[in-house]
Structures are given as structure tokens and as C-alpha cells.
Amino acid sequence: MFFLVSSHDDYFITTIFFWPIFFLAYFFLAFFFGFFFLAYFFLAYFFFTYFFLAYFFFGLFFFFGLFFFGLFILAYFFCLFFDNFLTIFY
């Protein structure tokens, strides 16, 4: 992704246009899959069968796996933004 921050010429385009897209997309995905996590939990609790733990842990690991992966992606783009921000001073 370094081609997005390769020079001072595209500083404005990169920081103003690109990183808010990834930022908002991550929170949309976290909300969207968080809803399915809650749906799996309440569905499993409602039926409360032998598959309760399967439903619960599938939703749990799926949601938190996506959550931490999203945090990793968000931190990556934040580091790109911050590194580009520092290039103002040198």
C-alpha cells in the first residue's frame, strides 16, 4: 500500500480520501457482524439444545476474530497515515 503514500504530491489525496474509507468500512463491518454474533447467541439460547455451545462459540470466535483482524487493518492504515503526517517535518 506504499504507493498510496509514495510522495508529498499525493499527501492530501491519501490522508483526506483513503483512510476515512477504511476507517468507516471497518466500523460498518464490526457493527454488521456484531449483529450476527448477537443473533447467533440469542438463537442458541432460545433453542438451548445440544448445539448451544456450537452456536455460541462459533459466533463468539467469528465475531472476535473479525474484530481483532479489523483492528489490525485499522492500525495498519493509521500507521500509514501517521507516517505520512510525519513527512511534513522532514
Tell me the pLDDT tens digit for each residue of 21-47.
666 777 777 777 767 777 777 776 666
Dist CA 69 CA 30 (whole Å): 10
| pLDDT exceeds 50 at position 50 | yes
pTM above the 0.75 mark?
A: no
Q: Has residue 10 been placed in a domain?
A: no
Look at 46-55, 56-65, 70-79 and tell me which has the smallest mean pLDDT.
46-55
- Which residues span the domain enclosing 35? 26-85
Q: Has residue 21 been placed in a domain?
A: no
Q: Has residue 6 been placed in a domain?
A: no
Neighbours of 69 (CB within 10 A): 12
Quote the number of domains for the chain: 1
pLDDT computed for residue 1 by the predictor: 45
